[in-house]
Homo-oligomer: A and B are copies of this chain.
Amino acid sequence: MLPLKNDRFLRALRCEPVDMTPVWMMRQAGRYLPEYRQTRTRAKDFLTLCKTPELACEVTLQPLARFSLDAAILFSDILTIPDAMGLGLYFSEGEGPRFERPVRSKAEIDKLAVPDPNQSLSYVMDAVSLIRRELDGKVPLIGFSGSPWTLATYMVEGGTTKNFSKVKGLMFDQPQVMHTLLDKIAQAVTAYLNAQIAAGAQTVMIFDTWGGILTSRDYLGFSLLYMEKIVAGLTREYEGQTIPVILFTKDGSEWLEEIATTGCDAIGLDWKLPIGKARQRVRDKVALQGNMDPCILYASPERIREEVASILANYGNGNGHIFNLGHGIHPEVNPERVTVFIDAVHELSKKYHQ
Binary B-proximity of A218-235 (CB < 8 A = 1, otherwise 0): 100000000000000000
Interface residues on A, range: 20 to 34
Complex: how many Å from CA A254 to CA B330?
Answer: 25
How far does the alpha carbon of A300 sit from the alpha carbon of B168 in the complex, in Å? 12
Task: Point out the residues of chain B lying under 8 angstroms from A271, CB to CB.
Answer: 215
Known A-B contacts A163-B330, A253-B254, A254-B273; A298 and B217 likewise in contact (beta carbons under 8 Å): no
A303 to B218, CA, bound (A): 14
A254 with B274: CB separation less than 8 A:
no
Q: Are A215 and B293 in touch, CB under 8 angstroms?
A: yes
Question: Which residues of B sit under 8 angstroms from A253, Cβ to Cβ?
Answer: 254
Considering only CB atoms, which chain B residue lies closest to A302 in the complex?
B173
Q: Does A172 lie within 8 Å of B298, measured CB to CB?
A: yes
Closest to A304 in B: B172
Cβ distance A338 to chain B, nearest Cβ, rounded Å: 15
Chain B residues with CB under 8 Å of A215's CB are 271-272, 274, 293
CB distance from A337 to the nearest CB of B (A): 11
Which residues of the partner chain B approach A296 to less than 8 Å between Cβ atoms? 172
Docked-complex contact B165 and A330, CB < 8 angstroms: yes
Query: A299 vs B167: C-alpha distance in the bound complex, in angstroms?
Result: 11
CB distance from A91 to the nearest CB of B (A): 17
Most chain B CB within 10 A, of A295, A296, A330, is at: A295
Q: What's the Cα separation between A330 and B217 when bound, in Å?
A: 22
Q: Is A183 part of the contact surface with B, judged by Cβ < 8 Å?
A: no
Q: Is A251 an interface residue (CB 8 A)?
A: yes
29 A-B residue pairs with Cβ-Cβ distance under 8 Å, sorted by A, are A163-B295, A163-B330, A163-B332, A165-B295, A165-B330, A168-B293, A168-B295, A168-B298, A169-B295, A169-B299, A172-B295, A172-B296, A172-B298, A172-B299, A173-B298, A173-B299, A173-B303, A214-B272, A215-B271, A215-B274, A216-B273, A216-B274, A216-B277, A217-B274, A218-B293, A251-B251, A253-B254, A254-B254, A254-B273
Given A165-B332, A172-B296, 8 new contacts (CB under 8 A): A163-B294, A165-B295, A172-B298, A216-B272, A216-B277, A217-B274, A251-B251, A253-B254
